[in-house]
Amino acid sequence: MSTPTDTRTGTAVAVDGLTVRFSSNRGEVTALHDVDLHVGLGEFVSIVGPSGCGKSTLLKVVAGLTDPSGGSVELGGASVRGPQRNIGYVFQRAALLEWRTVRKNILLQAEMRGMDKRAAAAECDRLIEMTGLGGFENALPHELSGGMQQRVSLCRALLHRPEVLLMDEPFGALDALTRERMNVELHRIWRETGTTVLLVTHSVAEAVYLANRVVVMSPRPGKIIELLDVDLPAHREYATTMETPEFITVANRVRELLGAVAQAD
């Protein structure tokens, strides 16, 4: 089956020789050391690694929220300098404004960017339908489940149709069943939109199920120790995918690498 993701070519994100150091009163920390990562347009890349290995830092550098100490980062062929506009960012917690309805939380993106109101409203409606939030447009965040809140956050991140979607442990706070459902939904949205995605996760199953490639990182200083291709069809049914030899092989290799990292830590 043809999807938007397999008809596009080119590089969405290019990270070369990236090093990030932080200095504080406790001294200097090298969060990332000599990291190279090229992500193709429409690709879905999962990033796994032990706590503190620099996963969030990597996303922040791509977003232009943290400056590199060395190396280069490009988004869509242009050097990243300062906060980037053509990205969407989903955080671990939904970070919704409690006093704004679902619709108004999503439209915050449009207000901040000065988007055309009508076009933004139409896109907002489309995303609400796509993520199954229909009927909850006027609900307040506290009236929603955790999974629904994360969907709102996802809609907000997608409203301006970003070329690249950065997700930092977006489903970490959800129960296992809701998380599975969100994985299936995110997979479908990715196939429908063709957005390039970088997903940080602590779940090996989530990482492999969703990705074209899995990046495994080592602890301080954070480095990429292995890049694994996930050779699974674009359309993936959740339960049956997990039983395929390809899924099991890749997931076991990721676990092996993470186990080796944990022992060496």
**Contact footprint for ligand ATP (CB under 6 A):** 22, 24, 29, 31, 49, 51-57, 220
Q: Rounded to an integer, what distance in angstroms lies between the CA atom of residue 153 and that of residue 260?
A: 35
User: Looking at the chain, which runs of residues are DSSP E strands?
Assistant: 11-24, 27-40, 44-48, 70-75, 78-79, 87-90, 164-168, 196-200, 213-218, 223-229
- DSSP summary character for residue 2: -
The least CB distance from residue 57 to Mg ion, in Å, is 8
The least CB distance from residue 53 to ligand ATP, in Å, is 4
Query: Is residue 201 close enough to count as binding Mg ion by CB under 5 A?
Result: no
The least CB distance from residue 22 to ligand ATP, in Å, is 3
Query: Is residue 46 close enough to count as binding Mg ion by CB under 5 A?
Result: no
Query: Is residue 57 close enough to count as binding Mg ion by CB under 5 A?
Result: no
Q: Which does 54 bind (CB under 5 to 8 A by kind): ligand ATP, Mg ion, none?
A: ligand ATP
List 56, 149, 150, 218, residue binding Mg ion (CB under 5 A): 56
Q: Which residues, other chains included, contact 136 with Cβ-Cβ below 8 Å and sequence gap of 6+?
A: 102, 128, 143, 144, 148
Q: Which stretch binds Mg ion (CB under 5 A): 52-60, 183-191, 204-212, 238-246?
A: 52-60
Q: Which is nearer to ligand ATP, 96 or 261 (CB)?
A: 261
The least CB distance from residue 10 to Mg ion, in Å, is 28
Query: Is residue 193 close enough to count as binding Mg ion by CB under 5 A?
Result: no
Q: Which stretch binds Mg ion (CB under 5 A): 48-56, 120-128, 213-221, 232-240?
A: 48-56
Q: Which is nearer to ligand ATP, 54 or 141 (CB)?
A: 54
How close are the terminal C-alpha atoms of the chain, in Å?
43
The least CB distance from residue 152 to ligand ATP, in Å, is 22
- Residue 46, helix vs strand vs coil: strand
- Report H helices in 114-227: 117-130, 146-158, 176-193, 204-210
Q: Rounded to an integer, what distance in angstroms lies between the CA atom of residue 238 and that of residue 2?
A: 20
Q: Which is nearer to Mg ion, 56 or 203 (CB)?
A: 56
Q: Rounded to an integer, what distance in angstroms lies between the CA atom of residue 54 and that of residue 31?
A: 5
Query: Is residue 203 close enough to count as binding Mg ion by CB under 5 A?
Result: no
Q: Which is nearer to ligand ATP, 36 or 231 (CB)?
A: 36
The least CB distance from residue 51 to ligand ATP, in Å, is 3
Beta-strand pair 87-90/44-48? unpaired
Q: Which is nearer to ligand ATP, 25 or 263 (CB)?
A: 25
Residue nearest to Mg ion (CB): 56
Q: How many residues bind to Mg ion according to rule CB under 5 A? A: 1
Contact 168, 56 (CB under 8 A): yes
Dihedral angle sign, alpha carbons of residues 222, 228, 232, 237: negative
Residue 233, exposed/middle/buried by CB under 10 A (0-12, 13-18, 19+)?
Answer: exposed
Per CB under 5 A, residues contacting Mg ion are 56
